[in-house]
Amino acid sequence: MGKSIIEKIWDYHVVQKEEGKPDLLYIDLHLVHEVTSPQAFSGLRMKNRKVRRPDRTFATMDHNVPTVNRKQINDAVAKNQMTTLEKNCQEFGVPLADLDSPDQGIVHVIGPELGLTQPGMTIVCGDSHTSTHGAFGALAFGIGTSEVEHVLATQTLWQSKPKTLKLEINGKLSSGVTAKDVILYVLSKFGVQFGTGYVIEYCGEVIEGLSMEERMTICNMSIEGGARAGLVAPDETTFSYLKGRKFAPNKEEFDRYVEHWSAFTSDKDAKYDREIVIDGSDISPMVSWGTNPAMTAKIEDAIPTVADYETEIEKSTLERALQYMGLNQGQKIEDIKIQHVFIGSCTNSRIEDIRKAAEVVKGQKVHPSVRALVVPGSQGVKQRAEEEGLHQIFIEAGFEWRESGCSMCLSMNDDVVPAGEHCASTSNRNFEGRQGAGARTHLVSPAMAAAAALYGHFVDIRKLTPVEVR
Ligand SMILES: CC(C)[C@H](C(=O)O)[C@@H](O)C(=O)O
Ligand code: SF4
């Protein structure tokens, strides 16, 4: 029987196997950030241990960093986490992209951008959205702080073999529909638990046609569906993205690596524990209206009503979400007003995301009642965007153009949404308080967020004139 890419990567990395016990996996790449690493390093220090493979470990600061006045960190906890990471990396010899580094950025943006993330690898990080790296055909998943310590010390991890889920997206996406809409649609249809216990392989014509940035957006939100990880088999798109990147194999070695990477694809007769097939042409630009990512509707639709649900639990969940969001049953999505726009986060802050938003914004002005932020995912993205003049488009329209970091994705730094206000956000989580106490988050694509910034409410980007969206 054939094997899926998930099983192939797994089997390739098993160091020790014992009946009835988790497997011991070798870890190829360990990414580290300031929030989930301090106790892990303290643990090493206490046990007098070293980092086993500093050369397979890479750290950055992202969650706490200010996106203006970079060095002025007002919050004591944030400051402490950042200086602690600096000290730890120095002491243990781990490379760090600090605030002065041109490589600094959100951990899930810089891994791929620097070419650290490669096909067939096992990749871990003390962060749930590590699934992003799966876009390269890597098995990449988030781990807890005690596991971070284990990987630092041994470069291995005990793991139980996950179940496999094949999610095939066929057909074609209509114009104006992006990768973000694909994953929001999947969540709206199958809920926030459909992936529990599984690693998802995304495949089908739609996925094959996506760029690496778009594949990352989809893999990133696998975790919102409960999955441990999500991945896409590597292909020419993957290889050409990697070519020439800082830590990717050099010219002489590249072809040899491509051969090695190409082995990590699923056999035609591979069996999965579950299979889902969807049609890409069913997808519209999507907007989340509630307090989890599955509470999402098509832009042309309306918020559901209690009559749409059968059980009392579902009905009261709807009521509770709408109370928090300050919205009404049956309200049209296009009628939801927003006061903030956040274009950023590890879901949608790469160069293509910034370009797509800029296309919508070009020559227009941000609505007077909206505060809008663009936060590039890394210094690399920021520099590239500035070389292309994209920052000017945003600044002239009235957007704030910031330094890289997690920013408004979560309220761990100065970028927060005030209580009761609505934010069109390109991030991945919309639970109560995520962007600040009482903040109301709506998850959307970069193009949809940009359009909402101009109008002060959600608009269907498919209805904008071709001059506005090319
Ligand atoms: C801070 C970190 C542990 C957390 C995560 O793991 O997801 C963060 O990145 C988030 O998105 O909520
Ligand atoms: S951008 Fe958001 S989701 Fe991504 S790592 Fe940072 S806080 Fe987590």
Among candidate residues 308, 331, 350, 344, the one with its CA nearest the CA of residue 457: 331
Closest ligand 2 atom, residue 107 Cα: 5
> Does the C-beta of 346 come closer than 6 Å to ligand 2?
yes
- Give me the number of domains the chain comprises: 3
Cα angle vertex 310, ends 304, 312, to 5°? 95
Distance from C-alpha of 149 to C-alpha of 420, rounded to nearest angstrom: 39
Six token digits for residue 271 = 């069996």
- Which bound ligand lies closest to the C-alpha atom of 406? 2
Closest ligand 2 atom, residue 33 Cα: 5
Distance from C-alpha of 232 to C-alpha of 142, rounded to nearest angstrom: 17
Same domain, 174 and 295: no
Among candidate residues 89, 123, 93, the one with its CA nearest the CA of residue 107: 123
Same domain, 177 and 274: yes
Mean pLDDT of 189-208: 98
Same domain, 455 and 329: yes
CA atoms within 13 A on the CB side of 327: 28
Same domain, 141 and 216: no
Mean pLDDT of 285-300: 98
What is the SS3 assignment for 77? helix
Same domain, 335 and 409: yes
Closest ligand 2 atom, residue 128 Cα: 8
Six token digits for residue 334 = 């296009």
Q: What is the pLDDT of residues 112-134, one digit of tens each?
A: 999 999 999 999 999 999 999 99
- Domain with 194 in it: what CATH number? 3.40.1060.10
Residue 113 lies in a domain: yes
Same domain, 95 and 221: no
> Does the C-beta of 327 come closer than 6 Å to ligand 2?
no
Six token digits for residue 430 = 């919309």
> Does the C-beta of 397 come closer than 6 Å to ligand 2?
no
Q: What is the pLDDT of residues 3-59, one digit of tens each?
A: 999 999 999 999 999 999 999 999 999 999 999 999 999 999 999 999 999 999 999
pLDDT value of position 470: 38
Mean pLDDT of 373-382: 98
Mean pLDDT of 383-409: 98
**Strand segments (E) across 240-388:** 274-279, 286-288, 296-298, 340-343, 371-374
% of the chain beyond a pLDDT of 70: 99
In this predicted structure, the answer to whether residue 449 has a pLDDT above a threshold of 90 is: yes
346 marked as binding residue: yes
Closest ligand 2 atom, residue 349 Cα: 1
> Does the C-beta of 410 come closer than 6 Å to ligand 2?
yes
Amino acid at 288: S
> Does the C-beta of 129 come closer than 6 Å to ligand 2?
yes
Distance of CA 408 to CAs 63, 288, 291, 466, Å?
A: 10, 17, 16, 31
Same domain, 98 and 189: no
Residue 468 lies in a domain: no
Residue 249 lies in a domain: no
- Domain with 87 in it: what CATH number? 3.30.499.10
Residue 411 lies in a domain: yes
Six token digits for residue 436 = 């600040």
Residue 286, beta-bridge partner list? 298
DSSP 146: H
Name the residue of 222, 410, 415, 443 whose CB sits within 8 Å of the most ligand 1 atoms, as the mutation to test its pocket. Answer: 410
Q: Which residues line ligand 1 (CB under 6 A)?
A: 35-36, 63, 127-129, 142, 410
Same domain, 184 and 61: no
Name the residue of 409, 411, 430, 441 whose CB sits within 8 Å of the most ligand 2 atoms, as the mutation to test its pocket. Answer: 409
pLDDT value of position 258: 98
Mean pLDDT of 384-400: 98
Distance of CA 344 to CAs 15, 227, 244, 426, Å?
A: 38, 23, 25, 6
Residue 108 lies in a domain: yes
Same domain, 35 and 112: yes
> Does the C-beta of 345 come closer than 6 Å to ligand 2?
yes
Residue 125 lies in a domain: yes
Among candidate residues 373, 428, 426, the one with its CA nearest the CA of residue 397: 373
When pLDDT is cut at 50, 70 and 90, the band that residue 1 belongs to is: confident
409 marked as binding residue: yes
- Which bound ligand lies closest to the C-alpha atom of 127? 1
Nearest CA to ligand 1 atom 2: 127
31: left (phi over 0), alpha (psi -120 to 50) or beta: beta
Number of H helices, E strands in the chain: 15, 19
Q: What is the pLDDT of residues 138-167, one digit of tens each?
A: 999 999 999 999 999 999 999 999 999 999
pLDDT value of position 466: 53
Across the chain, mean pLDDT equals 97
Nearest CA to ligand 1 atom 6: 127
Domain that holds residue 89: 5-160+236-243
Nearest CA to ligand 1 atom 4: 127
pLDDT value of position 340: 98
Q: What is the pLDDT of residues 400-414, one digit of tens each?
A: 999 999 999 998 899
Closest ligand 2 atom, residue 429 Cα: 3
pLDDT value of position 179: 98
Closest ligand 1 atom, residue 409 Cα: 11
pTM of the predicted structure, to 2 decimals = 0.97
Q: Which residues contact 171 (CB under 8 A, 6 or more apart)?
A: 205, 206, 279, 280, 281
Distance from C-alpha of 420 to C-alpha of 324, rounded to nearest angstrom: 8
Same domain, 222 and 313: no
Cα angle vertex 254, ends 250, 257, to 5°? 125
pLDDT value of position 257: 98
Residue 200 lies in a domain: yes
> Does the C-beta of 427 come closer than 6 Å to ligand 2?
yes
**ipTM greater than cut 0.90:** yes
Contact assessment for residue 64 and residue 78, using Cβ atoms and an 8 Å cutoff: yes
Name the residue of 32, 63, 434 whose CB sits within 8 Å of the most ligand 1 atoms, as the mutation to test its pocket. Answer: 63
Cα angle vertex 197, ends 14, 269, to 5°? 65
Among candidate residues 201, 222, 215, the one with its CA nearest the CA of residue 270: 201
Same domain, 142 and 216: no
DSSP 214: H
Q: What is the pLDDT of residues 54-106, one digit of tens each?
A: 999 999 999 999 999 998 898 999 999 999 999 999 999 999 999 999 999 99
Residue 317 lies in a domain: yes
Same domain, 405 and 304: yes
In this predicted structure, the answer to whether residue 467 has a pLDDT above a threshold of 50 is: no
Distance of CA 85 to CAs 75, 80, 107, 281, Å?
A: 16, 9, 14, 46
Distance from C-alpha of 345 to C-alpha of 325, rounded to nearest angstrom: 21
